[in-house]
Amino acid sequence: RTVGEKSGADILVEALCDLGVEVVFGYPGGAVLPIYDAMFRANANGTRIKHILVRHEQAATHAAEGYARSTGKPGVVLVTSGPGATNAVTGITDALLDSIPMVVITGQVPTGLIGTDAFQEADTVGITRHCTKHNYLVKDPAKLGPTIHEAFHIATSGRPGPVVVDIPKDVQVATARYTKPGPIQHKTYRPRVKAPQSEIEQVVDMLAAAERPILYTGGGADLVIAIGSRFDDRVTGRLDAFSPNSRKVHIDIDRSSVNKNVRVDLAVIADAGHAMEDMVRIWKARQHPKPDTTDWWRRIAGWRAVGCLDFPETASDIMPQRAIRALCGRHSTSASRSPTGG
């Protein structure tokens, strides 16, 4: 080992520390043992990265999802090659669909054995190509540090999502220098977070002219504004019959989500937070008169009065609704929202 150089595994752990990673969810295996050794050495020297040992790689990805949801930080997963990586695919796919920032580090067979059907070899990059924002196969320890930093940048910027970094075992033990990189300036990945002023003004004008505006859903609405949502079938029902008489605006940072399921009248590619701030600012500046929405609210009150989610209170039957109500801390008979459709 050249003076000043570190193993790929040590570079990985130091990069994780530089990125502020505090928790890793994982399940050990032969192809990631050098990384586990590096974590042990780092912790022995006072660098604390807490490892949560799961009993299945899918559990690691779902735990990382929960961590990301509750903390706002990217979830980090560490699994071995082959079955370790494939077991993680369900959680990776879930993170992509739910826009959850996650970095999944997978072990891989040595570079010289890739493509030989070696023990516990799988084409992790190929398998995860369609369920990640991006993925990497790192073949040079000198590129490992910058790759990890770039992976976190991609996972957490724009529309958040999972990124897979596949690291062959020989790269984990090979040595190179590590220097913490500066701000990531990717040549092609530059998500648009601010919409043009003209598009926001158009949204505000449509909102001001609407008599029955609604955010995201509605059959009787005359204007539907979807913000950071993807018009999935759980909301729209039949796509060809969804709110046929309304104009539609879709605000989303992910260009590929717009006009994918439902054709819209106005597409605004921007971060939802920035777009809403601009809408409020322009709305106040234009001083639109407050529309008369009395009839619209009367119709909404009628729908609410139906109580379609109410359930009978009975002591003799098991009522799943009661369990959900207790979990949500609700004391009325109306149901509350669930974060998942499954």
CA dist 221 and 226 (Å) reads 13
100 within some domain: yes
Average of pLDDT values for 199-225?
Answer: 75
> Any idea what the CATH number is for the domain that residue 278 is in?
3.40.50.1220
1 within some domain: no
Alpha-carbon 214 to chain mean position: 25
Together in a domain, 324 and 301: no
Together in a domain, 135 and 156: yes
* pLDDT exceeds 60 at position 134: yes
Domain boundary residue, one of 142, 176, 210: 176
136 within some domain: yes
62 within some domain: yes
Amino acid symbol at 275: A
Together in a domain, 44 and 160: yes
341 within some domain: no
Together in a domain, 144 and 12: yes
User: Other C-beta atoms within 10 Å of 211: how many?
Assistant: 12
Do 200 and 227 form a contact (C-beta atoms < 8 A)?
no
CA dist 56 and 84 (Å) reads 8
Which range of residues forms the domain containing residue 331?
Answer: 307-336
| Rounded (to 5) percent helix, strand, coil in the chain | 40, 15, 40
CA dist 144 and 147 (Å) reads 5
Average of pLDDT values for 99-122?
Answer: 95
190 within some domain: no
User: What is the reported pLDDT for 336?
Assistant: 41
User: What is the reported pLDDT for 255?
Assistant: 87
Do 108 and 31 form a contact (C-beta atoms < 8 A)?
yes
> Any idea what the CATH number is for the domain that residue 95 is in?
3.40.50.970
Q: Is 119 left (phi over 0), alpha (psi -120 to 50) or beta?
A: beta
Together in a domain, 34 and 162: yes
What angle do helix axes 8-18 and 144-156 make, rounded to 10 degrees?
40
* pLDDT exceeds 70 at position 123: yes
Amino acid symbol at 225: I
User: What is the reported pLDDT for 220?
Assistant: 53
Q: What is the pLDDT of residues 142-181, one digit of tens each?
A: 999 999 999 999 999 989 999 999 999 999 999 999 998 8
Together in a domain, 331 and 297: no
CA dist 76 and 24 (Å) reads 5
Residues paired with 25 in a beta bridge: 52, 77
Q: How many helices (H) and strands (E) does the chain have?
A: 13, 12
CA dist 207 and 225 (Å) reads 9
CA dist 180 and 226 (Å) reads 40
The pLDDT-based confidence of 217 (bands split at 50, 70, 90) is: very low
Q: How many independent structural domains does the chain possess? A: 3
286 within some domain: yes
Backbone φ, ψ for residue 53 (5° rounding): -85, 120
Together in a domain, 22 and 152: yes
Together in a domain, 30 and 171: yes
Together in a domain, 147 and 203: no
Q: What is the pLDDT of residues 33-52, one digit of tens each?
A: 999 999 999 988 888 899 99
Do 84 and 57 form a contact (C-beta atoms < 8 A)?
yes
Instruction: Say which DSSP state 249 is in.
Output: E
Average of pLDDT values for 85-103?
Answer: 96
Together in a domain, 149 and 218: no
Together in a domain, 12 and 129: yes
Together in a domain, 242 and 325: no
191 within some domain: no
The pLDDT-based confidence of 337 (bands split at 50, 70, 90) is: very low
Average pLDDT for the chain = 88
User: What is the reported pLDDT for 327?
Assistant: 84
* pLDDT exceeds 80 at position 198: yes
List Cα–Cα distances, 33 to 24, 88, 119, 173, 324, in angstroms.
14, 18, 15, 10, 42
